[in-house]
Structure 1
């Protein structure tokens, strides 16, 4: 392989890794899929390194040759299951030999440059429906549910507007928390509802960093502690921004003389099992819809979310606490998501994350940090509880995937080298002489849209 071939192959691997990481994939999946791309293109001996903001691929032909090193920065931070699905299929086609390197580069360029098949307004509506699902899970009244729907939509619109002006995420979170609190104050002032705590909790759910927190746990479990700590810091900072916004909204209400009931940060009282099931299904499907998951996956995701919420509710009401029901629900999600993902042709990650979204400890993180900000040590209990839930969910999902994925002889050898099963992309790739050259491919994948 010439130097030019080596450079082009490493560049393709980095571009694939960048899109996977920025679309929500874990560090372990990104690392092995970059190596799979290189191996499928005939380049052996490639090592990869993944951090929170940087990807690196290195290759050395022989001990007496200089090392080729390529680095790429990752700046985008938005969960995008449409791009994740397309890149997942691209890697599978490359590994299977259905497309060559040049075809893969062209297809990847189309994925990056094309817009989404779903409009931005539709995604915003999805966040509003997710607020409705959370309200149902928290046993909220119809007024609170409607307010949560409106609040989630307004928060998404405002944070998008601030993001276009390149305002840091922390300030976007502050603005979102402020908006949700002002809306709760207005509803309380009109005496339509006397549950401002639940209005705020349901309204800011999309601001809470439960997904990032669980991602941090999964990266730690799969052997990427530095990336895990970076995700954890990002999650904490984002939640702190939401707390600052809520506090600012309450301060503003007091300044203008508006009286309202005492606000309990992160107020959450679980509904009865039937409402938990419906709320969990709506929340999971709405999250997937807002994250651009393919339409064919929404019904299975709703079923998974409803099943996970039901499992949790039964365990919680049965006196098992919070951690063990969360773990049991996560194991169940991991078990069934692998089979479902293959049938609906989406990465397992999209179903797994969406399925456990109703159980994420975002409200517990918010409650713990908010109480700590009031100089009360009780906040530590909520933070520990949130950490236990996140660990239970992350470990349970991975255990479920371990049990579900059929391990052939080659896969067993592969799993001994890497931590954790794959939630994105194929298990491994074999280099082939027919794919070591970038000549003609027996089959080209079609365009993106």
Structure 2
């Protein structure tokens, strides 16, 4: 099982880099990516190995104590595409490696099989799931059937146009901006034609489908774990994604207002704080379709969907008992973090398979849209405050989910916990 030669040592390093690329590309936290890479190199007999994980590059360095030449290898992460089915398979493979069940040759072959196998859902299913996120979000905020159908069509149109631009090498920023603009355009057309529906719910649904929930949780997790460089890089990525969404919707709204379309702040819907059937169905639908979009295997879809139902019920319950929105969001997401992480450990899969889809119903689509609309109408102060509120809600979601996982970590056995994370350093703020 151990590297018997320098060539096998290099193959073990190449294996660790490839595994790290697959994990990081699927949105796994830096801490867990580095841990998986170290477990692989240690299993195959490499000592004195340092791992450096950044958002777009992985580096392994080995400095032998016997005076041999040091070795450094790097791998770029050029494609970050969520595929939780493959993520689960890679985690299982790392577990088998750590238990010394596979030779180096067998591990390389298994990894090739994982990377070459077909996605768990076809491409059209992922497109439909994105559209159903928008439709479910429209139902959640009280938009009704007509608005849900309009949100579905707007999201499919935006996704297809964005894909068309991507095939021609156009930067993803402009693809996201275009998708957001088309979602807002459908709402503007409904308002212009005076259709008696909550047209702005179309935009809110489209926004929720585009918001970066997965990078947000990974960003907060990296920051809490002390991986500040990667956390900053992820935060920058999130800022650009949100900026693209804001740019697309704001452009459509500004043009519509200039053309005389009667868009006002009163048009902005907010989700009723209710556990009535439409809201429960909407929350369940958002999380279920979010899980499909992330390529969660069918056997784990129910867990993520029920998490969305739980986070919504918890949020409504706390809000009715006088808790502020940010506190309600943090506590309900922490509850999902605890239960989702505990269940993930029971079935031996990464916790993000359950907790990422679960946060979908609380993503701040309505607040973000209100802020963009106010800024488009010239109310810069109110618009800025609502955009800050949207960012605060998003960060409280990520922090709450990670808080739940950390609560479980605190009460686990010390030896078991250190297999994942060594004892935390204490700086006392210095």
Stretch deviating more after TM superposition (124-133 or 18-27)? 124-133
Q: List gaps (5 residues or longer) in structure 1.
A: 421-449
The 3 A distance-change label for structure 1 pair 416 and 283 is closer
The 3 A distance-change label for structure 1 pair 364 and 185 is closer
Which of the residues 418, 422, 426 maps onto 1:417? Answer: 422
Where 1:223 maps in the other structure, the secondary structure is coil
The 3 A distance-change label for structure 1 pair 307 and 419 is farther
Contact 1:28 1:419 in 2 (8 A): no
Which of the residues 124, 128, 137 maps onto 2:127? Answer: 124
Tell me what 2:413 maps to.
408
Q: Matched residues in 2 for 1:3 and 1:263: separation?
A: 67
Contact 2:208 2:360 in 1 (8 A): no
TM-score by length of 2: 0.89
Tell me what 1:381 maps to.
385
For residues 42-57 of structure 1, the aligned pairs below 5 Å read 42-57=45-60
Stretch deviating more after TM superposition (10-19 or 194-203)? 194-203
Q: List gaps (5 residues or longer) in structure 2.
A: 426-430
The 3 A distance-change label for structure 1 pair 263 and 92 is same
Deviation of residue 187 (structure 1)? Answer: 2.4
Post-superposition CA distance 1:298-320 (Å, at most 9, x none): 11211111011100111122220
Contact 2:49 2:62 in 1 (8 A): yes
Which of the residues 45, 67, 72 maps onto 1:69? Answer: 72
Contact 1:126 1:289 in 2 (8 A): yes
Tell me what 1:105 maps to.
108
Deviation of residue 175 (structure 1)? Answer: 0.9
Contact 1:20 1:87 in 2 (8 A): yes
The 3 A distance-change label for structure 1 pair 419 and 22 is farther
Tell me what 2:22 maps to.
19
Given the alignment of the two structures, is residue 390 of structure 1 paired with residue 391 of structure 2, yes or no? no
Where 2:380 maps in the other structure, the secondary structure is coil
Tell me what 1:268 maps to.
270
Where 2:82 maps in the other structure, the secondary structure is coil
Q: Matched residues in 1 for 2:286 and 2:17: separation?
A: 33
Deviation of residue 351 (structure 1)? Answer: 0.6
Tell me what 2:227 maps to.
224
Q: Matched residues in 2 for 1:279 and 1:326: separation?
A: 17
Tell me what 1:94 maps to.
97
Contact 1:124 1:156 in 2 (8 A): yes
The 3 A distance-change label for structure 1 pair 104 and 27 is same
Q: Matched residues in 2 for 1:317 and 1:279: separation?
A: 19
Where 1:167 maps in the other structure, the secondary structure is coil
Q: Matched residues in 2 for 1:418 and 1:149: separation?
A: 48
Tell me what 1:244 maps to.
247
Query: What is the alpha-carbon root mean square deviation over aligned residues?
Result: 2.5
Deviation of residue 171 (structure 1)? Answer: 0.4
Deviation of residue 247 (structure 1)? Answer: 2.7
Which of the residues 205, 208, 227 maps onto 1:202? Answer: 205
Post-superposition CA distance 1:244-296 (Å, at most 9, x none): 222332345467x5634336797533341234333222111110011110001
Aligned length: 419
Deviation of residue 12 (structure 1)? Answer: 0.7
For residues 320-339 of structure 1, the aligned pairs below 5 Å read 320-339=323-342
Contact 2:371 2:383 in 1 (8 A): yes
TM-score by length of 1: 0.85
Deviation of residue 363 (structure 1)? Answer: 4.9
Contact 2:334 2:404 in 1 (8 A): yes
Deviation of residue 216 (structure 1)? Answer: 1.9
Deviation of residue 25 (structure 1)? Answer: 0.7
Q: Matched residues in 2 for 1:244 and 1:316: separation?
A: 32
Tell me what 1:441 maps to.
none
Tell me what 1:152 maps to.
155
